[in-house]
Structure 1
Amino acid sequence: MSKASSPIKMEGLSKPRGKRWDHLELLERIDSSGSISAAATAMGMSYKAAWQAVESVNNMSQEPLVIRQPGGSSGGGTSLTEYGRRVVATYRRLEEAWAAVPASVSSMMDDFDRYYSLSRRFDMQTSARNQFLGTIKHVKKGAVNAEVILDIGGGNELAAIITNDSADHLGLEIGSEAYALIKAQWIILTVDTDFKTSARNSLTGTIARCQEGAVNAEVVIELPGGKTIAAIITNDSVKTLGLKVGGKATAMIKASHVILAVPS
């Protein structure tokens, strides 16, 4: 294996760069402590930054790497799934093998091919708070625009409306992977689904976090399958809707507000 093609430089999963944290170390600390708060403290991260990192990792993975454990005086703990432990173990084995005997890495390429592609997903930097990896289920072209249906797992789908030129440029095909990016400010929340709306997408789940600021609040909804979606709404809207952790809420997103991207 040539130096130029060496896969062991796992950007975004090895060392912090600026404010970008080591996702792999965070996963390990969560697994050992059973607490995201303890893991964040040990790494010098804020609790919010740690949760956002965990949510990003879960949303970019086909299977959840981290799950919440209900119960306990503080609302339960947090732990890695078996899939998450395999991801962490594979990365560490690869690092050790590469440091000791580079040739031995070839014996683990099956695992590497599977999990290294996951590490690359964490490198994408965007201002969109919500990032989902999914599989294209349907592409329907019209005169100018195309409707693309993305399966993001857990029985959840997202519809996006983009131009035919964009669909062709991205090379969108049924069965291929794509990312859906949605700004938190574009999401409308409701607790009542018994009405008609022009929003093409609606994702219903349980409120996992509700953090109020001076004017606005960030509301994070955990969807079936372990993925999360975050919305920014006013504090007044939180009170009007009666949003509380543990309650149900639906995130509505216009198809034109879903941005699609593909791996480079």
Structure 2
Amino acid sequence: MTIEAVLSLKGDALPAVGRERIRLLEAIARHGSISAGAKARGLTYRAAWQALDGMASLFGRPLLATRAGGARGGGSVLTDTGRNVILAYHWLDAELAQLTRRLGRECPGIGIAAPRHAAMLVKTSARNALPGRIVTIDTDGFVAEVVTELSPTAQVRARVTTDSLHDLGLRAGRDVIVMIKATLVALRSCPEPLRAGLNCVAGTIAPQAHGANTAQIRLDIGAGLHLSGSPGTAAARDHEFAEGHPAWAVFEAAHVILAIDHVEDDA
């Protein structure tokens, strides 16, 4: 029998937060609403709400914020606390995985194994590293086009080899990290005509956290996610990409890298 080490966060007299609650939070952020996120995780709305209320009690503040309706519709987005809770859980899960693997080498025979869903966290030079879920995969036998949903309003196409497709175990419904270098993302004030292998992701210019002198601009694409890209010139940055204005991020599918966020059960 294998004994699995599992990470759980808890406080006195409060429900514990484990892997399933973190996945619920990620699903709500990805789909943009509690009801859709709950459905994706096979939960009722009531059960999801109770789980969220328990997490808010544990961390002392809301993990989700309600977004009013409008041109892009209403729904729920992660608060800064919600994003930090997800990040902290995955970091701790990765550390637990390393510790248990070391334990297995130095104390063999006791049967303790690393979490089967332990996060694979990496540092990367890509400014854009966004969580998503694969929607469809089309392949001609040599190259595959993988469509990943980042938010209810944003999908990204990646072109990968079929070898990569099989090596990573990519399939519809699998969670991945979408990575694109910001220098390869061009911002446009109007959408470009679609063609094979091109991404054109719509969004709204977000408040710029890194000051006005940065050569890159953040685009709000929904679900609390942002794409960073280049406006081309300083003049375009100042006059065409003011906060709150619509914009489009344009980049090649071949420039998108897909990474596995965690090891899933094959069962």
> TM-score category by the smaller chain?
0.5 to 0.7
Q: How far apart in 2 are the matches of 1:208 and 1:132?
A: 16
Q: Deviations over 1:49-80 (max 9, x none)?
A: xxxxxxxxxxx94334565999xxxxxxxx96
Asked if the contact 2:78–2:223 (Cα under 8 Å) also holds between the matched residues in 1, the reply is no
* Corresponding residue for residue 149 of structure 2: 151
Residues 79-94 of structure 1 correspond to what in structure 2 (within 5 A)? 81=79, 84=82
Higher relative contact order (CA 8 A, sep 6+): 2
Alignment of 1:105-184 (within 5 A): 120=119, 123-184=121-182
Taking the aligned partners of 1:129 and 1:180, their CA distance within structure 2 comes to: 11
Write the distance in 2 (CA, Å) between the matches of 1:148 and 1:208. Answer: 27
Taking the aligned partners of 1:67 and 1:221, their CA distance within structure 2 comes to 19
Q: What number of residue pairs does the alignment pair up?
A: 175
Do 1:203 and 1:252's aligned partners in 2 also have CA atoms closer than 8 Å? Answer: yes
Q: 2 CA distance for matches of 1:232 and 1:192?
A: 14
Match of 1:196 in 2: 193
Give the drift of 1:224: 2.7
Q: The residue matched to 1:253 in structure 2 has which SS?
A: strand
Q: 1:173, 1:3 → 2: CA distance?
A: 28
8 Å CA contact 2:134, 2:174 repeated in 1: yes
* Per-residue Cα deviation, 1:231-255 (whole angstroms, up to 9, x for no partner): 134424314x621111111111211
- Counterpart Cα distance in 2 of 1:145 and 1:136: 16
Gaps of 5+ in 2: 10-24, 30-62, 69-76, 90-114
Cα 1:66–1:189, aligned 2, differ >3 Å: closer, same or farther?
farther
Amino acid at match of 1:238: R
Q: CA RMSD in A?
A: 4.0
Aligned residue in 2 for 1:37: none
Q: How does 1:2-81 map to 2 (within 5 A)?
A: 5=5, 7=7, 61-64=26-29, 65=63, 81=79
Task: Give the Cα separation in 2 of the matches to 1:142 and 1:80.
Answer: 38
The yes-or-no answer on 1:255 pairing with 2:253 is yes
- Secondary structure of 1:62's counterpart equals helix
Relative to structure 1, the CA distance from residue 236 to residue 81 in structure 2 (aligned partners, 3 Å threshold; closer, same or farther) is closer
2:45 — aligned with what?
none
Match of residue 237 from structure 1: 236
Q: What's 1:108 paired with?
A: none
The one-letter code matched in structure 2 to 1:196 is P
Counterpart for residue 57 of structure 2: none
Distance verdict in 2 for CA 1:190–1:8, change over 3 Å: same
CA 1:61–1:127 in 2, change beyond 3 Å: closer, same or farther? Answer: farther
- How far did residue 197 of structure 1 move? 4.9
Deviation, structure 1 residue 7:
2.9
- Post-superposition shift, 1:83? 9.0
One-letter amino acid matched to 1:261: A
**Cα deviation 1:14-66 (Å, max 9, x = unaligned):** xxxxxxxxxxxxxxxxxxxxxxxxxxxxxxxxxxxxxxxxxxxxxx9433456
Amino acid corresponding to residue 245 of structure 1 in structure 2: E
TM-score normalised per structure 1: 0.54
Kindly indicate whether the alpha-carbon contact (under 8 Å) linking 1:212 and 1:235 is maintained by their aligned counterparts in 2. no
Residue 170 (structure 1) shift: 0.7
Letter paired with 2:28: E
- Residue 63 of structure 1: SS of its match in structure 2? helix
Q: Which residue of 2 aligns with 1:219?
A: 217
Unaligned runs of 5+ in 1: 10-59, 71-78, 92-112
Please tell me whether the aligned partners of residues 212 and 218 of structure 1 are also in contact (alpha carbons under 8 angstroms). no
Q: CA separation in 2, counterparts of 1:66 and 1:200? A: 33
Does the aligned pair in 1 maintain the 2:194–2:200 contact within 8 Å? no
Percent identical among aligned pairs is 27
The amino acid that maps onto 1:129 is: R
Alignment match, 1:13: none
Separation in 2 of the partners of 1:166 and 1:143?
Answer: 12
More helix by share: 1
